[in-house]
Amino acid sequence: GAVVSQHPSWVICKSGTSVKIECRSLDFQATTMFWYRQFPKQSLMLMATSNEGSKATYEQGVEKDKFLINHASLTLSTLTVTSAHPEDSSFYICSARDSGTSTDTQYFGPGTRLTVL
């Protein structure tokens, strides 16, 4: 089946630094990828839609200058948390839609645990 990977799986950083998270579709092409954030004991909240070759679309309340998204190829989207603060600590999950099929199936990555000290 389709596989989505994320790197790193966990990261700890100091407040004020920037952190980049990668999301890759390993065996399919994805013109569209999605970034979610999940706080402990809560559900996944959609942050933004990442479109290959164009600007990302952010959900209401998500700061686009803080959460930079780049989707430079059909298999890679990156999320950069700029000037991270402790409140940005969360579990970040990406998903990708297979461009080669007509179905709406999304494949989820394993998530990245970000801890900001």
| Interacting residue ranges for other proteins, rule: CB under 8 A | 4, 32, 34, 41-46, 49, 91, 93, 95, 97, 104-106, 108-111, 113
Count of Cβ atoms closer than 10 Å to residue 30 Cβ: 28
Looking at the Cβ atoms of 46 and 83, the one nearer to other proteins is: 46
> Is the CB of residue 15 less than 8 Å from the CB of residue 117?
yes
* Minimum gap (Å) between residue 108 Cβ and other proteins: 4
Q: Which amino acid is at 7?
A: H
Place of tokens 């179905």: 103
Looking at the Cβ atoms of 86 and 102, the one nearer to other proteins is: 102
Looking at the Cβ atoms of 49 and 82, the one nearer to other proteins is: 49
**From CA 25, how far away is CA 107, in angstroms rounded?**
9
* Minimum gap (Å) between residue 44 Cβ and other proteins: 5
Report the candidate in 19, 10, 7 with the shortest Cα–Cα distance to residue 82.
19
Q: Which amino acid is at 36?
A: Y
* Minimum gap (Å) between residue 22 Cβ and other proteins: 14
Diameter over CA atoms, the chain: 43
* Minimum gap (Å) between residue 8 Cβ and other proteins: 13
